[in-house]
Amino acid sequence: MHTVELPASNKIIYVPENLNECTPDQYMLFCRLIFKYQTNQINLLQFKKAAVYVLLNMNESKKERNDYEAAQINANLLLLFDLVDGFFTKDKDGVLQLKDHFTANPLPKIPTAWLNLIGPKHHFHQATFGEYVIALNIFSTYQATQDINLLYDLAAVYYRPHLFGLKIPFNENHISRIAQMLKNSDIGHIYGFYNYFSSFQNMLGTKKVYWEGKPIDFSILFTKTDGDQQPSEINGLGMKGTSYVLAESGVFGTLKDVNQTDMWEILFRLYDMKKRNIDHLNEIKRSKNENSTARKPA
């Protein structure tokens, strides 16, 4: 947390350094501003100014100011813009990238006009592989089309009502109905979940998960390795195709069983399959190198 002193009111305010330190309300409001900026509803200066107020848990005063007072406020805001900049990094092209390291789901629930919808646990624990396959397809399609309706569909995969204290099971046929309910919610919630899912995908592809104290590099699931079959010119089905392959193997049962299996169980199984394949290929290479060395004339 940053500390900001307000001498006029003799107060010290603690300000989040990143999204992980934001309250759910701060996170939602911050994501609403990001969405407005990325859809050209506000410019960068307007975004930063509004974001400062969100991080300070303050509302901009509507009181009329003279030129001196207005200049003082603007000067203070400029000093605080560094707090907002700390939420981003710049890629090699100078484009701002949101820092997205979370230790918990920043939006455990999304309020609608009728009731609160309960979201997934951190890192999507206890979510099914079927949910993930559908969500990944929606997520990828949104990135390709920027169709805002898909953001509601994505949230509708994971946010559902509670019945007698239990979250109702996932049903693909309910996505459109729940998405319609979510359209009564603030876009900050909806875009906030998109950012959280995006963060999870980024974590799978770039970072290591620890199991029994050992690092598990899930990025091998998303990268081509020597010995992989050369793809045809026909587009594949991605994770959907993977679910068919697993169903054909019978390891987790039928396709319905696969889709109802815990997502992490499937990911660990896929990791194990890919690792075994890589180890097998490395063993073949090692044997070939040894044989080649043995054949060389003395």
CA distances 237 to 7, 178, 242, Å, are 59, 26, 8
Structure tokens at 155: 């949230």
The answer to whether the CB of 211 falls within 8 A of the CB of 260 is: no
Q: Which of 102-106, 125-129, 189-193 is most confident? A: 189-193
Give me the phi and psi of 213, to 5 degrees please: 80, 0
CB atoms closer than 10 angstroms to residue 187: 18
- pLDDT tens digit string along 254-283? 889 989 999 999 999 988 888 888 888 888
Task: Look up the pTM and report it.
Answer: 0.83
User: 55 to each of 42, 65, 177, how far by Cα in Å?
Assistant: 18, 23, 34
Residue 171: is it exposed, middle or buried by C-beta count within 10 angstroms (0-12/13-18/19+)?
A: exposed
Question: What is the Cα 178 distance to its own chain's centre?
Answer: 20
Rg of the chain (C-alpha set) = 24
Residue 144 binned pLDDT confidence (cut-offs 50, 70, 90)? very high
- Classify residue 65 by its DSSP letter: -
**Residues found in the chain:** 298
* Residue, of 235 and 32, whose pLDDT is higher: 32
